[in-house]
Each structure stands twice: as C-alpha cells, then as structure tokens.
Amino acid sequence: MPGQRSITEAEKLAEAKLGGIPLHREQMAVVANIHRAASAVRQHLENSVLRGADLTWTAFVVLWVVWVWGESETRHVAEEAGISKGTLTGVARTLEGRGLLQRAGHPTDGRLVLLSLTEEGEALMRRLFPAFNEEEAFVAGRLSDEECRSVAEGLRRVVLQVEERGEERRLALLDGAEPAPRRSGRRPRA
C-alpha cells in the first residue's frame, strides 16, 4: 500500500531533511490525508457517475448548488460551489451551451445575474444525484455513521479555523510587507 506508509515514511525523511527542527507531525498528516482523500473521491465520482453524463466535477457541483437552492445569484453559487466568480462565468457558459442551465437578469438590480436549471437540467439531476449519493456512500463505506459524523466534525473545524482566522493570520504573516501579487493574471492596460 503506497498510501499511508508513504506519509509515515515521508515524515521521517522530511524530519531528517530539517536536521532536528521539530515537525508538526499530526497536523502534517491530517492535511496530507485531506488532499489525498479529496482527490481519490473526486476521481472515483468523476469516473463512475459523472463520466457517463459528460460532466466534470465542478460542472456537477454548480448544477447541484443551483438545483438544491433554486434560482440564485452567481456570486452565491460561486461561493457555495467553492470556486471563484471568474471560474463560474466559464462553467456557467459551458452548461448554458449544453442546455442545462439558464441565465437571467435580476429584475431590479442590473448588476446581478440569476442562474437556474432548465427542465433538461432538472431531469438530469433527478437521474444523476441518487447515483452520485450512492457512490458517496461507497467511498465512506469503511466508516460507520458515527465515524462519518466525527470525521465531518473534525473537518468542519478546519474549515472554520481558516474562515474565521485565516485572513487575520495571513495579514500577520506578511506583517506590513506588500501582498506579493500573483505573477500570472491580467496586466494593467497602461
């Protein structure tokens, strides 16, 4: 099993590389496993239920959000789907082109755009979601309901920590230094 042995093994190697500087082992392992699990789960779901419908993970998440919450403003959809506004614009365009999603202007605020599923999109989700949820159950199959709750609760605390203290922490780390702009991204016109 490469999986777990690697992490334990890697800890020792990393510690050796640092020559005695102490390492936050448990915290390192939990972060590593979060990402391992996320990518394993995503890959399984993409290759089982999503592939047949020619949907990517992100496209499915966006459809799911709009399906569950009903017609919504794009900023809320992006927030809920965990992607940036810019990414959502592209994904929504793709889904609109496939006839699964609709776009409408807000009646009173001209800046807003509302997203909703088409009838075809609704039908797709009614068909797809049960299969999706079944695979969620599969990937969590080695955990009892109680263990699922406990792991979910632990993860929730990680999310809360970043949401509530992350920004402040990042500012403290920079401590006055310039925010170090991303090297990629759009350039000023001048």
x-marked contacts with DNA along 14-53 as a string, rule CB under 7 A: -------------------------x---x--xx------
Is 113 a binding residue for DNA by CB under 7 A? The answer is: yes
Is 185 a binding residue for DNA by CB under 7 A? The answer is: yes
CB of 116 to a copy of itself, least distance (A): 14
CA nearest to 184, candidates 113, 86, 111: 86
Of the candidate spans 12-20, 79-87, 131-139, 140-148, the one that interacts with DNA by CB under 7 A turns out to be: 79-87
CB distance 100 to 120 below 8 Å: yes
Of the candidate spans 1-9, 101-109, 137-145, 149-157, the one that interacts with DNA by CB under 7 A turns out to be: 101-109
Contacts 24+ apart (CB under 8 A), 109-118: 112/73, 112/74, 113/73, 113/74, 114/71, 114/72, 114/73, 114/74, 115/66, 115/71, 115/72, 115/73, 115/74, 115/77, 116/66, 116/70, 116/71, 116/72, 117/63, 117/66, 117/67
Is 110 a binding residue for DNA by CB under 7 A? The answer is: yes
Q: Which residues neighbour 121 within 8 Å (Cβ) at sequence distance 6 or greater? A: 63, 66, 67, 95, 99, 100, 101
Of the candidate spans 85-93, 99-107, 108-116, 161-169, the one that interacts with a copy of itself by CB under 8 A turns out to be: 161-169
Choose among a copy of itself, DNA, none what residue 41 binds, the Cβ cut-off being 5 to 8 Å by kind.
a copy of itself
d(CA 34, CA 23): 18
Residues 73-132 that bind a copy of itself (CB under 8 A): 79-80, 82, 125-126, 129-130
Is 21 a binding residue for a copy of itself by CB under 8 A? The answer is: yes
Among 160, 187, 189, 190, binds a copy of itself (CB under 8 A): 160
CA nearest to 36, candidates 70, 4, 76: 4
Is 109 a binding residue for DNA by CB under 7 A? The answer is: yes
Strand partners of residue 117 = 101
Provide the binding-site residues for DNA, judged by CB under 7 A.
39, 43, 46-47, 56-59, 73-75, 78, 82-94, 103, 108-113, 179, 181-190
